[in-house]
Amino acid sequence: MLLFCILLPLAASATADRVTFKNVSLSSFYEHLGRIESAASLKEHLPRHFTQFLIVSGEIPVLYEDSVADIHNVQELYFRRNRIEDIEPGAFKNLTSVTSLMLSHGSLKTIKQGVFDNLDIAELQVSFNPISTITKRMFGNLPKLRYLSFNNDEIETIEAKAFDHLVNLEILDLSRNLLSKLPDGVFRELPKLHMLFLKNNKFVNPQKLAFDTPTLNHLDLANNAIESLVENFFIRLPNLTRAILSFNQLKSIPDNVFLNIPLHYLDLNDNKISDIDANAFDNMKDLHVLNLANNQIKAYNLWLYNPANLSQLILSNNLIEEIPDDSFRNFCDGKKTSLKFDNNRIAKITPRTFECFTKVQSLDLSGNQLTEWDGSFLENILEIEVLRLGNNQIKCPKGDFRDVFLANVTYLNGNPLSEECLDGIKKWNMLNPAKVACTDFETC
């Protein structure tokens, strides 16, 4: 009898310790759905009707086994700001209706093997947790998982074969972590992966063997500390169409970095690039957008052979002093293009600078050191929508105003226009459909 009296309080205490939800609120994005005072299981406190979004708020130190089991009427389940420190295997059993699971702003340092076994979810987000390592035992059988995010954690290490079981994964987001190195071939066994986000990490010289994913078409490496790209860096990404390398420490672009890659969009904005091999972008016939803004380029020498689909060339905020004649000799295909050379040091334009263009979406030469603008500079252009010449040193454009103001809108704001010139432009504006803007907001 004495032994029974001793064991009874111990059993009651153990049961109490297994209470997962205490003073926890349930809500959707639109309304408060209820409050749990004390419970071991979530399912008993769910709304009876189907709920697309369920947000669980309040401190939950541990998700015990079966605590989030047998949920059949919630589609997207969000645990947010719960300070979860541990999750026991079996916590998420039998989530038949849940397609998206998020564990955000917690205190998870690791995730035990078996926690995500046999789930039919399509999306899994583990964000804003102090997790340092993604282990090869972290993911079990997730046959329907298409989107996986470990962004804004503290991940420094990813073990080899960590993602090998995620055969249907399409999007992987590892942004805003502490990664500086990846195992070779870590994404190789992801046969459907097409988007990979690695921005805001610590990569300096990423090894090309890590990027061995033939299906990948979008790679984001922005906001790292990448200093160089080796020859054939993208050779194992034969279907890559978007590469984002902005906000890094690149100083040069050598030849053959982008060899035989069908890139549509290449973003090299905000690096320290001063040297570009003349053949660095050779034969990129699929390229639509090339962004080299905010670098330290002094000389324009990009011959851009066969740019059949190039629609935007962005070289804003560099140190370019001159655009050589015939620089765009390979653009004589009649395609409408936008060119941005604003905020450089260009002092001179000639009739041969843009002679190959017949159609222009936008030509931006604002913020340079031009003292002259002549109607002959655009004599071969049949269509131009926007011409920006603001903040130069032009006192008055030369030539017939019908040639000078060929664009639908021409911006001359911030130039020292003479009074006589300004009067002439105002008269032109009154009689012609083309508009000349002498400020950012008003026509002359």
pLDDT in tens, 299-343: 898 778 777 788 999 999 999 999 999 888 888 777 889 999 999
Q: Let me know: does 313 contact 337? Beta carbons within 8 Å.
A: yes
User: Dihedral angle at the C-alpha atoms of 82, 83, 86, 88, nearest 10 degrees?
Assistant: 0
* 400-411: average pLDDT: 92
DSSP 8-state assignment for residue 318 = S
- Domain residues for 65? 1-73+87-98
Domains of the chain: total = 1
Residue 403 placed within a domain: no
Q: Is the pLDDT of residue 8 over 60?
A: no
Residue 1 placed within a domain: yes
Q: pLDDT digits over 191-236, tens only?
A: 999 999 999 999 999 988 899 999 999 999 999 999 999 888 998 9
Q: Which helix (H) or strand (E) holds 339?
A: strand 337-340
Q: Is the pLDDT of residue 354 over 80?
A: yes
Top mean-pLDDT range of 42-46, 104-108, 257-261, 280-284: 104-108
**End-to-end alpha carbon distance in the chain:** 101
Q: Which helix (H) or strand (E) holds 148?
A: strand 147-149
* 65-92: average pLDDT: 95
CA–CA separation, 193 vs 109, rounded Å?
Answer: 26
Q: Is the pLDDT of residue 14 over 50?
A: no
Residue 69 placed within a domain: yes
Q: Let me know: does 262 contact 242? Beta carbons within 8 Å.
A: no
Q: Is the pLDDT of residue 442 over 80?
A: no
Q: Which residues pair with 405 in a beta bridge?
A: none
Residue 40 placed within a domain: yes
Burial call 302-312: b when 16+ CB within 10 Å, e when fewer: bbbeebeebeb
Q: What are the phi and psi torsion angles at 33 (to 5°)? A: -110, -10
Which pLDDT belongs to residue 392? Answer: 97
Which pLDDT belongs to residue 118? Answer: 85
Which pLDDT belongs to residue 395? Answer: 95
pLDDT-based confidence at residue 438 (cuts at 50, 70, 90): confident
Residue 392 placed within a domain: no
Rg for the chain, CA atoms, rounded: 30
CA–CA separation, 220 vs 240, rounded Å?
Answer: 11
Residue 28 placed within a domain: yes
Residue 379 placed within a domain: no
- The letter for the amino acid at 194 is H
pLDDT > 90: what percent of the chain?
72
Residue 35 placed within a domain: yes
Residue 118 to residues 70, 91, 100, 144, 347, Cα–Cα distance (Å): 13, 12, 14, 10, 66
CA–CA separation, 287 vs 340, rounded Å?
Answer: 16
* 265-271: average pLDDT: 98
pLDDT-based confidence at residue 55 (cuts at 50, 70, 90): very high
Top mean-pLDDT range of 134-143, 146-155, 377-386: 146-155
Q: How far from chain centre, in Å, is Cα 22?
A: 39
Q: Let me know: does 381 contact 360? Beta carbons within 8 Å.
A: yes
Q: Is the pLDDT of residue 379 over 60?
A: yes
Q: Let me know: does 315 contact 340? Beta carbons within 8 Å.
A: yes
Mean pLDDT of the chain: 91
Which pLDDT belongs to residue 57? Answer: 94
